[in-house]
Structure 1
Amino acid sequence: MNHPSSSTKVWCPRVTVACVVADGGRYLMVEEEVNGRLAYNQPAGHLDDGESLASAAVRETLEETGWTVQLDSLVGVHQWRSTEHGESVLRFTFSARPLRHDPDRPLDDGIRRALWLSRADVAALGDRLRSPLVLQSIDAWLAGQRLPLSALGSLLAEDRYP
């Protein structure tokens, strides 16, 4: 097996998490400023070092929307090259139930607001969606695509999946 030398750059995709949070035909979305334009996304963000995928998804949803959620399942794992920054992204998308909202919680920098939109409203946003994964994730959820959280097999002490 060849090992990279210390001068060789190791390729690593950006690992992100997102949540499809549904409530009565509407989906929790965020309106955010990205590179000087408004974009729409599910609550989503980057996995931190030492953090489980599930914990990251719950944390990002709270930080971006003020909503505490409970994860139900893994909707999918998607790989793509971002048109925003040109890097490869590996996105883990979860399904979550809304539990409670803290309207006074400050939202992450760049997040203008959290809002609930129908699938048709999300589709109508077109190129204002942060990525094609936004609508693809809702459609996968609507099609019933679900994996148990135990499919992730976390060995981190903070997060053992049932």
Structure 2
Amino acid sequence: MKHRWKPSVTVAAVVEHEGRFLLVEEHTPEGLRLNNPAGHLEPGESLAEACARETLEETATSFTPTALVGVYQARLLPANSTEFTTYLRFAFCGTLGDFHPGRRLDHGIKRTLWMTPAEIRASTHRHRSPMLLRGIEDYLAGRRFPLDLVYTAP
């Protein structure tokens, strides 16, 4: 039987507070990179649930998605690889909840930081993917779609 190709489905949180955006600095095969709190969809969870989980794991802060900012596709060549990976990212904005000071950050996350749009635009050479800036630009442009746009069957 022929192997069926599937994109890698990811989620990302676009979190803004007082003109700054929450990012993580993480170790990657390409070196230390900036990203939204983001990660892969896991079996049995909705996209919004995955986004809340990933944000908690990477920032030690609860997150509640309130709107879909956009859906993004990128074909990237990971370091030390000869094969491209296609990512399909669902970016959500929402509200931060409680910070959990005793919680360890996910493996590979060095720290969280808050950056202005100008700082993010000036650091594209450090972005994990082009989807980081695009999601923030879409958020700044006012793009918000209701959560029920993404249906999850029971």
TM-score bracket, normalised by the shorter chain, equals over 0.9
Which residue, out of 15, 20, 26, partners 2:9? 15
RMSD of Structure 2 on Structure 1 (CA): 1.1
User: 1:80, 1:36 → 2: CA distance?
Assistant: 17
Aligned to 1:50: 44
Which residue, out of 92, 95, 98, partners 1:94? 92
User: 1:123, 1:100 → 2: CA distance?
Assistant: 29
Please, which runs of 5 or more residues in structure 2 have no aligned partner?
none
User: 1:151, 1:113 → 2: CA distance?
Assistant: 32
Partner SS for 2:15: strand
**Which residue identity does 1:140 align to in structure 2?**
D
Q: Normalized against structure 1, the TM-score is what?
A: 0.89
Q: How many residues align?
A: 150
User: 1:129, 1:106 → 2: CA distance?
Assistant: 23
Aligned to 2:25: 31
Superimposed CA distance per residue, residues 95-143 of structure 1 (whole angstroms, 9 cap, x where no aligned partner): 0111221232100110001111111111111211000110110000000
Aligned to 2:74: 80
User: 1:102, 1:50 → 2: CA distance?
Assistant: 25
Which consecutive aligned stretches of 4+ in structure 1 deviate over 3 angstroms post-superposition? none
User: 1:119, 1:103 → 2: CA distance?
Assistant: 27
Aligned to 2:139: 141
**Which residue identity does 2:24 align to in structure 1?**
V
Please, which runs of 5 or more residues in structure 1 have no aligned partner?
1-6, 157-162
**Which residue identity does 1:98 align to in structure 2?**
L
Q: Normalized against structure 2, the TM-score is what?
A: 0.94
